[in-house]
Amino acid sequence: MDEDKTVSAEMIKYLYTLYINANNGSVIIFPERETYNQGTFVRLQASPDDGYGFTRWEGDLSGTENPASIILDSDKSITAVFSEITNAFDRVGNTPPKSMLKQNYSNPFFVSTIIPYYLKDAAKVNLSIFNIHGEKVITLVDEHQQAGDHLVEWNAQNTKGNSPASGVYFYRLEIENHLIQTKMMIVSQ
């Protein structure tokens, strides 16, 4: 040093906090930590309470994708918005003319999903999940049920309690002599 010098340093915050708000449901965070390093990739899945469905994200995340992902480059505040399900099949009050199997939500999913269906008449019902090879993964419903709207939650586990691999799966609703099938997708954590 040959003379007085002034030195300044700019401090950059590298640890960030993720704030999640949810009424009538919860949010599964992966990985879940108190603070995150800059650039951490975080996956969020909104999980509605019974009688509610996921509607959208608000705050530092927007849209309807569920699960959704973010990269933490600052503190983030995110709200999961859930709406009450009054009729899973027809929001204007008309009764469907026949039994129906609707699209599961969330789709794709990695922790759990809701499968809605409507029975025009009381009937013996079987609701099962199959892999892409046609092998049964699990039976969710196998009983006589009353007519009306029904919701079944699947926790993405097979009959042995193991989580199936990522990929496309089919859920099949058998109502006496009638068969309806729809596909869904599981995404690994």
Structural domain contains residue 70: yes
What CATH number does the domain containing 166 carry?
A: 2.60.40.4070
Query: Could you tell me the sign of the dihedral formed by the alpha carbons of 132, 155, 188, 18, in that order?
Result: positive
Predicted local distance difference test score (pLDDT) of residue 93: 46
Task: Give tens-digit pLDDT for 101-110.
Answer: 888 888 888 7
61 and 117 in a single domain? The answer is: no
| Cα 189-110-148 angle, rounded to 5 deg | 170
Q: Are 116 and 124 in contact (CB under 8 A)?
A: no
Q: Tens of pLDDT along 28-37?
A: 888 888 999 9
Q: For 72-103, how does the pLDDT look when each residue is reduced to its tens digit (9 = 90+)?
A: 999 999 999 988 776 544 444 445 568 888 88
pLDDT above 90 as % of the chain = 29
- Concatenated DSSP letters for the chain? --S-----------EE-EEEEESSEEEEEES--SSEETTEEEEEEEEEPTTEEEEEEEESS-BS-SSEEEEESS-EEEEEEEEE-S-SS-TTSPPPSS-EEPPPBSSSBSS-EEEEEEESS-EEEEEEEE-TTS-EEEEEEEEEE-SEEEEEEE-S--TTSPPPPSEEEEEEEEETTEEEEEEEEE---
Tens-place pLDDT, residues 107-138: 888 788 889 998 888 999 999 999 988 899 99
Q: Are 169 and 128 in contact (CB under 8 A)?
A: no
Higher pLDDT, residue 67 or 35: 35
What number is the average pLDDT over the span 7-20?
81
Identify whether residues 78 and 113 lie together within a single domain. no
For residue 91, tell me if it sits in a domain. Answer: no
**Residues 143-174 pLDDT 10s:** 999 988 888 999 888 888 888 888 899 999 99
154 shares its domain with 78: no
pLDDT above 50 for 16: yes
Q: What's the pTM value of the predicted model, to 2 decimals?
A: 0.52
Quick check: 21 and 79 in contact, CB under 8 A? yes
Confidence of residue 12 (pLDDT cuts 50, 70, 90): low
Question: What is the domain extent for residue 141?
Answer: 100-186
Among residues 59, 84, 109, the one where a domain terminates is 84
pLDDT the model gives residue 86: 61
Q: Which residue, among 57, 29, 184, has the nearest Cα to 108 in the 3D structure?
A: 184
Tell me what pLDDT residue 36 has: 92
Q: Looking at the 3D structure of the chain, how many domains does it have? A: 2
80 in a structural domain: yes
Closest to 165 (Cα-Cα) out of 139, 132, 134, 140: 132
Pairwise pLDDT comparison (43 vs 60), residue with the higher score: 60
Same domain membership, residue 123 and residue 182: yes
Mean of the per-residue pLDDT values of the chain: 85
